[in-house]
């Protein structure tokens, strides 16, 4: 086990967000931000790796994407519920998960299935289903989760 001090975390997060801004401003979503895809050299310089799931940002809402991206523990609620119309927010959710993991020393959201993970997300965030974003209600898998809830 190793300890990462808050000033180091701040430095790493600044570099990560700056790198993602660079990608997003050039029309690229990474879609698989997680600790194992973040590379650090011995001088503390961060690089984002593994662009295998990356895709272009589409302003055309008719261009549907797959919801089966982003490693499960870092996947945002809209993808867990099957949304195929999303943008850079999927990367930002993953960055939040990485941030928490750096502070806690372990993943903040663990689950073996999408159903378990979405329940964990709701429990962690104390989300009341009536106040969920309208777009979430339109996702094709929401009815499944409503029945399980």
Q: How far is CA 94 from CA 46, 79, 107, 138, 147, in A?
A: 16, 12, 11, 22, 27
Tokens of 22: 């660079």
Asked, for residue 30, whether it belongs to a domain, the answer is yes
**Which residues are designated catalytic?**
32
Higher pLDDT, 49 or 61: 49
Least confident of 87-96, 103-112, 126-135: 126-135
Query: How many domains is the chain partitioned into structurally?
Result: 1
Asked, for residue 29, whether it belongs to a domain, the answer is yes
Asked, for residue 95, whether it belongs to a domain, the answer is yes
Range(s) of the domain holding residue 98: 6-148
Model confidence over 2-49: pLDDT tens digits?
678 999 999 999 999 999 999 999 999 999 999 999 999 999 999 999
What CATH number should be reported for the domain holding residue 112? 1.10.510.10
- Indicate if the pLDDT at residue 142 is higher than 60: no
Of the pLDDT bands very low, low, confident and very high (cuts 50, 70, 90), residue 67 is confident
Asked, for residue 1, whether it belongs to a domain, the answer is no
């Amino acid at each position: 086990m190793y300890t990462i001090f808050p000033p180091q975390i701040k430095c790493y997060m600044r570099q990560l967000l700056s790198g993602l801004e660079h990608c997003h401003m050039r029309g690229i979503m990474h879609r698989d931000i997680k600790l194992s895809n973040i590379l650090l050299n011995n001088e503390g310089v961060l690089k984002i790796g593994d662009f295998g799931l990356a895709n272009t940002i589409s302003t055309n809402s008719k261009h549907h994407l797959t919801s089966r991206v982003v490693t499960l523990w870092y996947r945002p609620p809209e993808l867990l519920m099957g949304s195929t119309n999303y943008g850079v927010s999927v990367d930002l959710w993953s960055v939040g998960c990485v941030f928490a993991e750096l502070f806690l020393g372990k993943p903040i959201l663990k689950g073996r299935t999408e159903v378990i993970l979405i329940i964990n997300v709701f429990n962690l965030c104390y989300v009341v289903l009536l106040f969920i974003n309208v777009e979430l209600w339109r996702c094709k898998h929401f009815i499944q989760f409503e029945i399980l809830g």
